[in-house]
């Protein structure tokens, strides 16, 4: 793997689009694209006020750092500066009442739970 610098100020927010998943009000900026996984594994995510992401599991875990705003991850309320580690196999949904910007590290694709 080679060194990579991503200048987020030079990247536009893009709407999050996932087939079969309601993602209204969520935008992303890819920070690191994994060529093997064929997807970004590190990214910024912006939730507009009231935006939510459905209940899902993490086969390889997840890390979240709150850069701005507030977010609810399952029963946990996180604010600016908070960090959350979700172990492999964990499940949760995500909701932001007031909006937020989050840094995510997600090694494997999530599995949406019905």
Model pLDDT, residue 1: 64
On the question of pLDDT at 108 being above 70, the answer is yes
On the question of pLDDT at 25 being above 90, the answer is yes
d(CA 31, CA 38): 13
User: Which of the four pLDDT bands, split at 50, 70 and 90, describes residue 16?
Assistant: very high
Q: For residue range 63-107, what is the model confidence (pLDDT) as tens digits?
A: 999 999 999 998 999 999 999 999 999 999 999 999 999 999 999
On the question of pLDDT at 114 being above 80, the answer is no
Q: Identify whether the C-beta of residue 92 lies closer than 8 Å to the C-beta of residue 73.
A: yes
d(CA 25, CA 37): 26
User: Which of the four pLDDT bands, split at 50, 70 and 90, describes residue 59?
Assistant: very high
Whole-prediction pTM: 0.92
In the chain, what are the domains?
21-107 (2.60.120.10)
* C-beta atoms surrounding 60 within 10 Å: 15
- Measuring CA to CA, which residue among 56, 54, 63, 62 is closest to residue 24? 54
């Amino acid at each position: 793997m080679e060194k990579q610098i991503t200048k987020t100020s030079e990247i536009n927010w893009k709407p999050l689009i996932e087939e079969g998943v309601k993602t209204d009000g969520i935008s992303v900026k890819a920070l690191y694209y994994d060529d093997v996984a064929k997807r970004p594994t590190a990214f910024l995510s912006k939730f507009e006020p009231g935006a939510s992401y459905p209940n899902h599991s993490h086969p390889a875990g997840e890390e979240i750092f709150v850069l701005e705003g507030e977010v609810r991850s399952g029963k946990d309320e996180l604010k600016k500066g908070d960090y959350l580690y979700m172990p492999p196999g964990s499940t949760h949904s995500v909701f932001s009442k007031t909006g937020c910007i989050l840094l995510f590290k997600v090694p494997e694709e999530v599995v949406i739970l019905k």
